[in-house]
Amino acid sequence: MTDLMVQERQAEILRRLKQDGRVLSASLAAEFRISEDTIRRDLRDMANAGLCERVYGGALPVSRGATTLSQRMGVASERKKALAATASTLIPPRCTVYFDAGSTNLAIAEAVHEDLVVTAVTNSPAIALVLTEKPLVEVILIGGSLDRVVGGAVGARAIEAMSVIRPDICFIGTCGIDVDGGLSAFRLEDAAFKQYIAARSRRVIVAATREKFDAAAPYAVAAAGQYHCLVTEPGVDPHRLAPLREAGCEIIEAGLQEGRKTGRDQNND
């Protein structure tokens, strides 16, 4: 182990912490060929900076217990992750893509590949936060009054902020898909905002898990002919997809290799 400077050493400790899930003062001292006192000072500093949790004998990652946010943002179900993985491949490089607020679109944002260079626009703080972690994504945040049911900004200010942006592609969230293939939302302002976005976008994509076909919401967003592509799961009743196909909407079923319909899947939205 070559001599390291303080910052390098602490970075290495942090790396091991992530990799192994823990570090021991004694082992670290032996590996770095320095005294345990110095290691203890390092760990104390790092804990003070919120980079690890200090315990007797070494340190643990902070993610133990109090990771408020990852819990709060809720890990997407495996089904939703598979759907999101497929949907994220529809984003061409170097385009401008809009992510509507919603847990499905959050999953798509998470699935964006690290190497993808795009300009991303969103009205959702949670999605913005996830996209900030992708080094090659430029993030544009649409501001306005936050609707906590929607999880994003809607209303006049948000529409005005969008008026200067014309996305190449947009992912619109939906609360339900009716028998004619129309989309709906729970909130009036949200529905209006979605309509505005869809009208401005060159290509409108809707990603929806299969239980959206069983749900209804009061405010209409778009009819079957008004969006270009639906990404969904296998196992949706073909009669429900037929009107969409007739309206010229491309249907993509994610993860076709498996995915039996058991009827017992729980809605994770």
Partner DNA sequence: CCGATTTATGCATGTTTATGCATGTTTATG
Partner DNA sequence: CATAAACATGCATAAACATGCATAAATCGG
Q: CA dist 56 to 26, 39, 60, Å?
A: 11, 13, 10
Q: Which is nearer to DNA, 42 or 178 (CB)?
A: 42
Nearer to its own copies, 145 or 218 (CB): 145
Which residue lies nearer to its own copies by CB, 82 or 224? 82
Radius of gyration of the CA atoms of the chain, in A: 23
35 Cβ partners below 8 Å, 6+ apart?
29
Task: Decide which of its own copies, DNA, none touches 54; Cβ closer than 5 to 8 Å per partner kind.
Answer: DNA
For the bound state, the minimum distance from the C-beta of residue 219 to DNA, rounded and expressed in Å, comes to 19
The 8-class DSSP code of residue 168 comes to: S
58 lies in the binding site for DNA (CB under 7 A): yes
Distance of CA 262 to the CA centre of its chain: 26
Tell me: does residue 55 bind DNA (CB under 7 A): yes
CB of 171 to its own copies, least distance (A): 18
Pairwise CA distance, residues 160 & 200, whole Å: 12
CA distance 54 to 57: 9
Partner touching 69 among DNA, its own copies, none, CB below 5 to 8 Å by kind: its own copies
Select the residue interacting with DNA from 72, 94, 148, 260 (CB under 7 A).
260
- Closer Cβ to DNA, 49 or 164, answer by number: 49
Half-sphere exposure of 86 (CA within 13 A, CB side): 23
Pick what 38 binds: DNA, its own copies, none; C-beta below 5 to 8 Å, kind-dependent: DNA
The separation between CA 90 and the C-alpha centre of its own chain, rounded to angstroms, equals 15
Question: What is the contact surface with DNA in residues (CB under 7 A)?
Answer: 5-6, 9, 25-26, 33-38, 40-42, 44, 54-58, 214, 260, 262-264
